[in-house]
Homo-oligomer: A and B are copies of this chain.
Amino acid sequence: MTTRADCAAMDAADTLAPLRPEFALPEGLIYLVGNSLGAMPKAATERARQVVADEWANGLVGSWNTAGWFDLPSRLGDRLAPLIGAGAGEVVVTDTTSVNLFKLLAAALHRQAADPAASARKVIVTERSNFPTDVYIAQGLAEWLGRGYQIRMVDSPDELSAAIDADTAVVTLTHVNYRTGRMLDMEAITAHAHAQGALTVWDLAHSAGAVPVDLRGANADYAVGCTYKYLNGGPGSPAFLWVAPRHQAEFRQPLTGWWAHAAPFAMHPEFKPTAGIRRGLCGTQPIASLAMVECGLDLFARTGIDAVRAKSLALTDLFIRLVEERCASHPLRLETPREHAQRGSQVSVAHPDGYAVMKALIARGVVGDYREPEIMRFGFTPLYTRFVDVWNAVETLRDILDTRSYDVAASRDQVT
C-alpha cells in the first residue's frame, strides 16, 4: 500500500518542485483544474501592470511598434513552437481556439477542393465525444459552405480507421479528450488519414504543455490549441494555430483581416496575403491578455516537456493507484486509460453522484470539475501539483464517500 510518506518522498525527489513557488496558489487549496484554467504565474501580475500602466498609458499608440505589440502573435508562437514539435515561423498566438479551428478546417477543405484528385471529398470526420465547440465549428462551416459538405461522427476512436475513407476530406480530432483524458495516436491516425487521401486538423487544447507533441514528427497538417489550460496564459488568453511548412505556400483561410495582409499599413483596397504563418491572423489582438501568455512560456523555458511528462504520468499513476486502494468499496469507474501512451494529464472518474461528490470536494478545497454524464475530472499540472496534493485529494474523496458527505439534491449550478 502507498503511504503519505511515499508521496512526500516523491516530492522531495521532484526536479520540478522549484517551479511551484512561481505560481500564485491560494493557501490550502488543492487545485486540480489546470486542464480548464491554469493557475497564475506570479510574473503575470507585473506583466499586466507593465502592459497597462507603462506600454498603454505612456507608450500609447507607439507601443504597437516600440513594445512589439504588432509582432506579439509571432513572437509568442515561436516560443510556444518547441512544446508542440513545431519550428519557428510555423505558429501564431491569436484569436480563440474556435475561430482558429474554423480558419484551419476551411484551409484544409480549400486545399482539398483545389486538388483535382481530392475535390470530390466532402466528409469531415470527427468524434462525437470531441469537445463540443470543435464539432459545432465543423457543423457551422459545413452548413455555411454548402456544396455537399457533411460531418461524419464516430462513437469511439476505434471506429476512426473505418470511418476515414475515400470520401474523407479532413479528419479533425482533439489529441487528448477533454472528458476522458484519453490521448489518441497522432502519428498513426495521421498516417492512416494520409494513406486515404485525407488531411488532419488536430486540436491540442489538452496537450500543449501537458504531453510531448511532435507535429512535424507525426507529419500532421494543421493544428490549433489553447494557452489558458496547461500553458497558464490567463483566463481566455488567445489560442494558437500551426500550419505545416509544406502547406504554408498554399495556405488560405476565409477570415482575411488586415493583420494577414502583405502590407497592412499600405491600406490597399485589395487583399493580398502576407507570406507565411501570419496568414492565419485576422484582426487586432487583445494585447493585455496576449502579453500574459509569455509568463507561462517563461516557466516552460526553465524545464523540458519530457520532465513535465514524466512527472505527469507519476502524478496520474499515483492518483489512480490511491483511488483504487483507498476508495475500493465505492462505485467509482475509471474513464481514463491505464496505458501511458493513451493518457493525457488528467484522470476522469465516474460516480453515479459525481456532480454532488465534486461539489463536496470543492467545498473542502479539492478543486476538480464535473462533466456530464457522471464524470469527475482531475487535472494534474506538473509545474505546480505535488504528490502530497494527490494524497490529500484522494483522502478527502475517500472521506466524503465513506461518510456520504454530499448532497445529491443540491442544485446544479454550472461548474465551468
Contact = CB atoms under 8 A, between A and B. Distances in A.
Interface stretch (A14-22, A95-103, A189-197, A297-305): A95-103
B287 A135 contact: no
Interface in A46-92: 48-49, 51-53, 55-58, 60-65, 69-70
A135 B61 CA distance: 24
Nearest to A128: B269
Interface string A143-167: 1111100000100000000000000
A352 interface: no
Given A45-B49, A266-B372, A258 B60 contact: no
Contact of A97 (B52, B269, B283): B283
Interface residues on A, range: 35 or more
A54 to B, nearest CB: 10
A40 B57 contact: yes
A52 to B, nearest CB: 5
Contact of A135 (B58, B136, B237, B271): B271
Contacts of A238: 286
Interface stretch (A288-296, A312-320, A323-331, A335-343): A288-296
Contacts of A256: 136-137, 139-140
Interface stretch (A2-10, A31-39, A240-248): A31-39
A416 B288 CA distance: 18
B48 A285 contact: no
A65 B411 CA distance: 15
B287 A235 contact: yes
B269 A140 contact: no
Contacts of A139: 256, 270-271
Contacts of A367: 60-62
Contact of A282 (B45, B99, B129, B261): B99
A391 interface: no
A36 B257 CA distance: 17
B289 A287 contact: yes
A256 B24 CA distance: 35
A96 B96 contact: no
Contact of A284 (B69, B96, B135, B147): B96
A371 interface: yes
Interface in A223-238: 228, 234-238
Contacts of A37: 56, 60-61, 64
B96 A283 contact: yes
7 contacts: A52-B292, A60-B367, A61-B415, A65-B413, A96-B285, A98-B282, A228-B284
A-B CB proximity, top 5 nearest = A96-B283, A98-B283, A286-B289, A140-B256, A98-B257
Given A40-B57, A228-B284, A288-B292, 4 more contacts: A99-B283, A140-B254, A235-B287, A265-B416
